[in-house]
Amino acid sequence: MNKHFDDSRYYLSRAAEHARLGLTESLEPLADRVRTYLGRDPEPEPESGRFDGVREDVTALETRATARARGALGSVRDRVTARRSLEAAADR
């Protein structure tokens, strides 16, 4: 039963988000006219320049490299431990 409530909450939040986007899109021309009438400039869009994109890419690359290095290190440790235990068993 809880699954049904989670599903309905998810779809309700998606519907609300789409309704908000639709209202924003349909009211944008009216908001522009009001701003022009009042003599205000439209709000400038934040500039997410190339530098921000490159920084995000580098951060993602660093995260992936760290994860791969840790995975490789773990597998090497496992192999060394297995090899040592085989050698110890052979020496007995």
pLDDT one-digit tens code per residue, 2-36:
777 888 889 999 999 999 999 999 999 898 888 88
**Around 55, how many Cα atoms within 13 Å sit in the side-chain half-sphere?**
5
Q: What b-and-e string marks burial along 26-53, b requiring 16 or more CB atoms within 10 Å of the CB?
A: eeeeeeeeeeeeeeeeeeeeeeeeeeee
63: left (phi over 0), alpha (psi -120 to 50) or beta: alpha
pLDDT at residue 1 in the model: 61
Q: What is the value of pTM for the model shown?
A: 0.40
pLDDT digits (tens, 9 = 90+) for 63-85: 999 999 999 999 999 999 998 88
CA angle 14, 20, 26 (to 5 degrees): 135
